[in-house]
Structure formats: structure tokens, C-alpha cells
Structure 1
Amino acid sequence: MKFTTPVLGLFVGKAKERWPGKPPSAIAKFAANGRQQLIETGFVTDAQADLRVHGGADKAVHHYPADHYSAWQAKKFDTSFAFRPGGFGENISTAGIVESDVCLGDIFELGTARVQISQGRQPCWKLNMHSRVKHMAVELQNSGKTGWYYRVLQQGEVQLGDQLKLIERPIEQWPLNRLISARFDKNLPRLIAKELCEYPELAKNWRQHFYKRANTDFVEDQTPRLVG
């Protein structure tokens, strides 16, 4: 499968104190102006508050499909939060491609950069605070509409209207919707976990998770915590 789609939204933000007694957060993103430099750890103008669990080379850029926001709007949560592109702390927004359309390890040209899909998103409590929906992280996780992360294979520059172009698909048997479902499946067969933990394209922390599932009787508490 080959496709090209334009970048419709580009968002960045710095860490700030948001909630009394809670750690700072960079989940609030704002529309970026002009060309943005993309390096191994993400956009130079972007940031993550807690690098132990957010950001890093495997989670340099978060992509969330604009297509999903209509489903969240339809739920009519009791909140004044605006469910619109950029709202979930993503860096990249597009229309027309969702988790079932992309695969683990997919490599894209993004502006003059080159990026690779490394994992889905595992939402944390900050999404609850940010959206003012008590169980938003659980809702997002259970829906499978989590978006995904890229690692940066080649640094470059990105701006609105640049094309996101699929150039290589090494693992077509693992579309992102299947991978995300496996990540949160408490009854995942060990053989599947063993397969997944051996893909170098998969982010290190997700490989570690599947390694534990493949080699022990480990059962993870699926409640979203301080991860992102």
C-alpha cells in the first residue's frame, strides 16, 4: 500500500505548571508557525515534561488522526473541552488515515525528514486533567483510537501542507489497530507476545512488555498511569 496525505495540523508546546500539587505537563499544544526543525528527539520547539515516561527517541512525534474527534464530540462528555485537532497533545494531524491504515515499522517521508512508526499511545492521567473528563485516558485506551508515535530516522524540517508519504512497509501483518489491541489484551497468547517482542521496529518499552508476557505469568494492571 502506498499513500500520501498532507499535514493539516502541526502542534508544539512547552512544559508548564497546570494543576496545583501535580507535576508539570506539556500536553497543551499550540499551532506551530512556519517550518519546524525535527531532530531525533522531536520538534525543537516542542517538549515533554517527564522524560522518564514521555518523549525520547522512540516517541519523538505523536500523530493523532483528526478523523477521531467527531466520535469524541458525539459522546457529549460533561466538559467544556474542545475535541479538535491538537486537543490530545499530538504534534501531527491528518485526515483520511487511521490506525487500521498504518503498520508497525512503516517509514514515511515527512517534509524533508524521514520517520518510522514505533508504537501506539498509552495514555496517562494527564489526559484526564487536560480534558476535564475523569476517565478520558481509559476511554481513549479502550477505544483503540490512540494515534501513534514515530521515531526520527532522518532529521529535517516540517511545515503545514507538507506531505506525509509512505515509502516502506516492512511489517504489513501488524497494522496499528491490531498492535494496540494486543498491547492491552490481558489474554494475549504467549506466541504472539514472543513474536512482537522480537521486532526491532517496536519501541523498547513495548518490546519489554511483550517479552514479559511471553516469558512469565506477568499480568499488567491496565489502568492508565504515568505513561504516555
Structure 2
Amino acid sequence: MPSQIRQFAIAEVRIGRAKPFGPGTARSAIDKHPVTVPLLATALGLVGDEQADLRHHGGADKAIHAYSAAHYPQWVRDLPDAADQFRTGGFGENLVVDGATEADLCLGDRWRVGQALLEVSQGRQPCWKLNIRFAVPDMARRVQATGRSGWYFRVIEPGQIKAHDHASLEERPAPDWPLTRVNDLFYKDKLNRPALAAFAALSGLPDGWRNLAERRLQNGEVEDWGSRLNGPKEAIS
């Protein structure tokens, strides 16, 4: 069950532009920088922010990415040799969250952040670009295994957001589905049929997530995440 917190703080707001990233022709906007002026949150994200790979990033279901500041000290303890890499903004988040983690938020939660109303749409599924970002060959797998992935917000009501705003919980329609439970279902208890059926029945799920649950129920098989986690050959050679 999620914790009972009903508020958290926005320590930083960050945006970035797409640019070449790593080997080959890959591009990314993961390198986001803090801004101190208010930014308008729209249905497709913060004004001034970009996403390079629109097949896997951005869009209404991934309008704003949030990451908990509490995870950074944990990564430093886990990977001391890469400690200098673990600073806020490292995961390409738009919102650096102070006072909440994936255990504290549920799918469908609606939070008033500044003037905007945001809805928790899904957890982040880490990809191979994190391996390059942190110079840790299996970083994406570590993020997936730990559940320290961050999450995405939809923008239900556009409005301005700025650093040091507070987020207040307005609605929690799915209290049985904290993001930690979703992570466990996706990557640990992968073929729990009652849980998959309950998950697939939730309203407001992104199509990709509902389809994933329904495929597992129909086929009894789990997806191969290798391409997402390891990336193209030129990215890991």
C-alpha cells in the first residue's frame, strides 16, 4: 500500500534540447538543466522541453518525467565508483521531487503542482541510454531491478510550474496500485494472472501497458526486454 503522504515538494524544474548522444546517430534530450522561472505545463509537456525519440518518449502519457531526489544517495552507495555521476537531473527528469518516491504514488493519482493538475500515468521503463549516461554498462537493468525508475505525469489542467512549488494530492482512484506494485508485476511476479487481470481493468492505463497485461494473460509469456535495456550494438560495443 502507498504511504499516507499528501504533499511533496518540487526541488527543481528542468528542461533540455535534443542533441547527439553516444555513438552512432542516436539523439537524446536527457541532459536537462534547471530553470528558475515558471514554465507552462501543457498536454505535451513543459514549454521549452524536447524529446528526441518520440516513439518512446513524450506524448500525452509521458508529458512530464519526475524522479525522486531520495534515490541519488542510494545510487552513490550502490555504485561509489560512479558517485560523481549521480546528481539531480541525472535521469533526465523534468521534476526533481523531494519527499516522495514510487512507493508514495499510485497510478491515476491527481496532484496539484503549482497551477497545473498532473496525473500519474505510468512508471518509467529504463532504456540503454542510461548505460551511456552513467558509464555503467548495466545501469538500465539496475534501475529496472531496483524500481528507482521515476514516473510520468499527464497534464490534466495546464498551468505554470516552478521550482519550490508544492504538490498536493487531489484524487486517488486506484489506492491498491502504487507504482512499486506495478514494478513488481512487470518485472518480478510477472505471470500473476489475478494481478494482471486487475491491472488490465484499470481505467486510464496507457494502451501499451494494457496491451502488455493482456498479452501475458493470453499467451502466458513474458516480453524480452533485451533491446530496450542493452540498446543497438553500436551503443554497447
Indicate the TM-score class for this superposition, using the shorter chain for normalisation. over 0.9
Alignment counterpart, residue 23 of structure 2, candidates 14, 20, 23: 20
Aligned to 1:41: 44
Compared with structure 1, are the counterparts of its residues 113 and 164 closer, same or farther at alpha carbon in structure 2 (3 Å cutoff)? same
Aligned residue in 2 for 1:203: 206
Q: Over the residues paired in the alignment, what is the CA RMSD in angstroms?
A: 1.8
The CA distance in 1 between the partners of 2:98 and 2:47, in whole Å, is: 24
CA distance in structure 1 between the aligned counterparts of 2:146 and 2:224, rounded to whole angstroms: 17
Report the Cα offset of residue 215 of structure 1: 1.8
Match of residue 86, structure 1, among 85, 89, 95: 89
Amino acid of the structure 2 residue aligned with 1:67:
A
Q: Which residue of 2 aligns with 1:10?
A: 13
CA deviation profile, 1:159-191 (whole Å, cap 9, x unmatched): 011111111111001111111111223642222
The structural deviation recorded for 1:69 is: 0.4
Contact 1:186 1:220 in 2 (8 A): no
Question: Is the 1:27–1:89 contact (alpha carbons within 8 Å) kept by the matching residues of 2?
Answer: yes
Matched, 1:115 2:114: no
Q: How big is the shift at 1:2?
A: 5.4
State the TM-score, normalizing by the size of structure 1. Answer: 0.93
Between structures 1 and 2, the one with greater helix share: 2
- Aligned residue in 1 for 2:109: 106
Indicate whether 1:62 and 2:99 are aligned: no
Q: Distance in 1 between matches of 2:161 and 2:190?
A: 40
Q: CA deviation at 1:224?
A: 5.8
CA distance in 1, matches of 2:147, 2:138: 15
Once the two structures are superposed, residues 72-103 of structure 1 have per-residue CA deviations (whole angstroms, 9 ceiling, x without a partner) of: 01123544752021111111112221111111
Residue equivalent to 1:172: 175
Contact 1:38 1:158 in 2 (8 A): yes
Structure 2 unmatched ranges of 5 or more: 231-237
Provide TM-score, normalisation by structure 2: 0.90
Distance 1:38 1:160, change over 3 A: same
For 2:32 and 2:227, locate their aligned partners in 1 and report how far apart those are by CA, in whole Å.
Answer: 21
Question: Map of 1:93-172 to 2, 5 A cutoff?
Answer: 93-172=96-175
In the alignment, residue 172 of structure 2 is paired with which amino acid?
R
The equivalent of 2:235 in structure 1 is: none
Matched AA of 2:217: A
Name the counterpart of 2:194.
191
Write the distance in 2 (CA, Å) between the matches of 1:86 and 1:224. 25
Secondary structure of 1:205 counterpart: helix
Q: Which stretches of structure 1, 4 residues or longer, exceed 6 Å deviation after superposition?
A: none
Does the aligned pair in 1 maintain the 2:33–2:89 contact within 8 Å? yes
CA gap of 1:80–1:16, structure 2 versus 1, over 3 A, is: farther
For 1:160 and 1:145, the matched residues in 2 are separated by: 22
